[in-house]
Structure 1
Amino acid sequence: MGTGQDLYKKAKMLIPGGTMLLSKRPEMFLPEKWPSYFSRAKGCQVWDLDDNQYLDMSIMGIGTNILGYGNETVDDEVRRVVSQGNMSTFNCPEEVYLAEKLVELHPWGDMVRLARSGGEANAIAIRIARAASGRDKVAICGYHGWHDWYLSANLGETDGLDGHLLPGLNPGGVPRNLKNTVLPFNYNDIEGLKTLVQNNPDLGVIKMEVSRNMGPENGFLEEVRKLATQNNIVLIFDECTSGFRQTYGGLHKMYGVEPDMCMFGKALGNGYGITAVLGKRSVMEAAQKTFISSTFWTERIGPSAALATLEVMEKTKSWETITQIGTDITKRWADLGKKYDLEINTAGLPALTSFSIVSDNWLKYKTFITQEMLKKGILASNSVYVCTEHKPELVNRYFDELEPIFNTLSACEKGDADISSLLESPVCHGGFKRLN
Structure 2
Amino acid sequence: MRTGQKLYERAKKVIPGGTMLLSKRPEMFLPENWPAYYSKSKGCEVWDLDNNKYIDVSIMGIGTNIMGYGHQEVDAAVSEVVKNGNMSTLNCPEEVYLAEKLIDMNPWADMVRFARSGGEANAIAVRIARAASGKDKVAICGYHGWHDWYLSANLGNDEGLAQHLLPGLNPCGVPQNLKGSTLPFLYNDYEELENLVKNHDIGVIKMEVQRNEPPKNDFLKKVRKLADDYNIVLIFDECTSGFRETYGPLFKKYNVEPDITIFGKTIANGYALSAVVGKRAVMEAAQNTFISSTFWTERIGPAAALKTLEVMERDKPWEYITEMGKYVTVKWCELAQNQNLNIKTFGIPALTGFSFESENTLKYKTFITQEMLKRGYLASTLLYPSTAHTKGIIDPYMTNLEELFHVVSQCELENKNIDDLLEGPVCHGGFKRLN
TM range (shorter): over 0.9
Q: TM-score, normalised by structure 1?
A: 0.99
Query: Where does residue 282 of structure 1 map in the other structure?
Result: 281
CA deviation after TM superposition for structure 1 residue 140, in Å:
0.1
Query: Where does residue 12 of structure 2 map in the other structure?
Result: 12
Query: Where does residue 75 of structure 1 map in the other structure?
Result: 75
CA RMSD of aligned residues (A): 0.5
CA distance in 2, matches of 1:430, 1:112: 36
Alignment partner of 1:318 is 2:317: yes
Listed one character per residue, the Cα deviations across residues 272-305 of structure 1 (whole Å, up to 9, x for unaligned) are 0000000000000000000000000000000000
Listed one character per residue, the Cα deviations across residues 45-91 of structure 1 (whole Å, up to 9, x for unaligned) are 00000000000000100000010000000000000111111011111
CA distance in 2, matches of 1:157, 1:396: 45
CA distance in 2, matches of 1:100, 1:217: 33
CA distance in 2, matches of 1:266, 1:356: 24
CA distance in 2, matches of 1:210, 1:231: 20
Alignment partner of 1:211 is 2:210: yes
Alignment partner of 1:92 is 2:86: no
Contact 1:269/1:305 (8 A) holds in 2:
yes
Query: Where does residue 260 of structure 2 map in the other structure?
Result: 261
Show structure 1 runs of 5+ residues with no match: none
> Amino acid of the residue matched to residue 28 of structure 2?
M
Q: How does 1:26-425 map to 2 (within 5 A)?
A: 26-200=26-200, 202-425=201-424
Contact 2:158/2:169 (8 A) holds in 1:
no
> Amino acid of the residue matched to residue 208 of structure 1?
M
> Amino acid of the residue matched to residue 358 of structure 2?
S
CA distance in 1, matches of 2:384, 2:38: 18
Show structure 2 runs of 5+ residues with no match: none
CA distance in 2, matches of 1:229, 1:380: 44
CA distance in 2, matches of 1:83, 1:240: 29
> Amino acid of the residue matched to residue 84 of structure 1?
N
Listed one character per residue, the Cα deviations across residues 78-127 of structure 1 (whole Å, up to 9, x for unaligned) are 00111111011111000001101111111001000000000110000000
Contact 1:41/1:70 (8 A) holds in 2:
yes
CA distance in 2, matches of 1:240, 1:89: 30
Listed one character per residue, the Cα deviations across residues 147-171 of structure 1 (whole Å, up to 9, x for unaligned) are 0000000002342000001110010
Q: Aligned with 1:351: secondary structure?
A: helix
> Amino acid of the residue matched to residue 305 of structure 2?
A
CA distance in 2, matches of 1:397, 1:5: 27
Q: Aligned with 2:349: secondary structure?
A: coil
Contact 2:65/2:269 (8 A) holds in 1:
yes
Report how many aligned residue pairs link the two structures.
Answer: 435
Q: Aligned with 1:306: secondary structure?
A: helix
Q: Aligned with 1:140: secondary structure?
A: strand
> Amino acid of the residue matched to residue 316 of structure 1?
D
CA distance in 2, matches of 1:29, 1:112: 36
Q: Aligned with 2:40: secondary structure?
A: strand
CA distance in 1, matches of 2:174, 2:157: 15
Listed one character per residue, the Cα deviations across residues 11-31 of structure 1 (whole Å, up to 9, x for unaligned) are 000000000000000000000
Contact 2:158/2:168 (8 A) holds in 1:
no
CA distance in 2, matches of 1:128, 1:34: 40
> Amino acid of the residue matched to residue 362 of structure 2?
L
Listed one character per residue, the Cα deviations across residues 195-229 of structure 1 (whole Å, up to 9, x for unaligned) are 000001x2100000000001100000000000000
Contact 2:190/2:222 (8 A) holds in 1:
yes
Q: Return structure 1 stretches of 4+ with deviation > 4 angstroms.
A: none
Listed one character per residue, the Cα deviations across residues 316-350 of structure 1 (whole Å, up to 9, x for unaligned) are 11000000000100111111111100111100010
Q: Aligned with 1:113: secondary structure?
A: strand
Q: Aligned with 1:138: secondary structure?
A: strand
Q: Aligned with 2:39: secondary structure?
A: strand
CA distance in 2, matches of 1:243, 1:364: 32
> Amino acid of the residue matched to residue 21 of structure 2?
L
CA distance in 1, matches of 2:213, 2:21: 25
CA deviation after TM superposition for structure 1 residue 185, in Å:
0.1
> Amino acid of the residue matched to residue 293 of structure 1?
S
Contact 1:156/1:180 (8 A) holds in 2:
no
> Amino acid of the residue matched to residue 302 of structure 1?
G
Q: TM-score, normalised by structure 2?
A: 1.00
CA distance in 2, matches of 1:392, 1:337: 19
Stretch moving more, 291-300 or 157-166: 157-166
Q: Aligned with 2:113: secondary structure?
A: strand
> Amino acid of the residue matched to residue 217 of structure 1?
K
CA distance in 2, matches of 1:82, 1:100: 23
CA distance in 2, matches of 1:343, 1:100: 48
CA distance in 2, matches of 1:392, 1:354: 18
CA deviation after TM superposition for structure 1 residue 397, in Å:
1.3
Listed one character per residue, the Cα deviations across residues 119-147 of structure 1 (whole Å, up to 9, x for unaligned) are 11000000000000000000000000000
CA distance in 2, matches of 1:194, 1:394: 46
> Amino acid of the residue matched to residue 18 of structure 1?
G
> Amino acid of the residue matched to residue 330 of structure 1?
T
Listed one character per residue, the Cα deviations across residues 360-413 of structure 1 (whole Å, up to 9, x for unaligned) are 000000000000000000000000011000011000111011000000000100
